[in-house]
Amino acid sequence: MWTLVETTGRRSGLRRLTPLVNGPFDGMTLSVLAGYGEASAFVKNIRANSAVRFKRGGRWYDATAEVLDTTPESVARLGRYAQVVLLRVGKNPKVIRLTVA
């Protein structure tokens, strides 16, 4: 399953949609992987404006995004597929925690 994350472009101000591998969702918090970390445009957009929306299971949620370093605790919140991808990506990956507003 995929999650669609909507950020606001840091320069254009336009909405930007990024499909990401879905992680576990407890109804309030969802963690997703930014495989290329700070080099990802959507991570730069989150740094400029942490108010985002995400679509999961056909429903949109307003959320606040937080960029986290990949620690054992933050990685444990990712889905299995994202954890496997994380082992293969060597570009300073980050975990993005989306908290429903």
CATH code of 10's domain: 2.30.110.10
Give the pLDDT score at 84: 78
Return the bridge partners of 6, or none: 17, 53
* Alpha-carbon distances, residue 60 vs 9, 24, 91, 93, 100 (angstroms): 19, 16, 30, 25, 10
Angle at 85 between CA 54 and CA 59, to 5 degrees: 15
Quote the pLDDT of residue 19. Answer: 95
Q: How many domains does the chain have?
A: 1
Whole-number pLDDT of residue 1:
74
Strands, sheet with 29-34, edge to edge from the N-terminal-most edge strand: 15-21, 2-8, 51-56, 59-69, 94-100, 29-34
Domain that holds residue 55: 2-100
Alpha helix segments (H runs only) across the chain: 41-48, 72-76, 80-88
Question: What's the pLDDT at 7?
Answer: 98
- Rounded to whole angstroms, the Cα distance separating 74 from 83 reads 10
Kindly list the averaged pLDDT for each block of 10 residues, start to end, along the chain of length 101.
Answer: 94 96 90 89 97 96 95 81 74 90 92
Confidence at residue 74, expressed as pLDDT on a 0 to 100 scale: 82
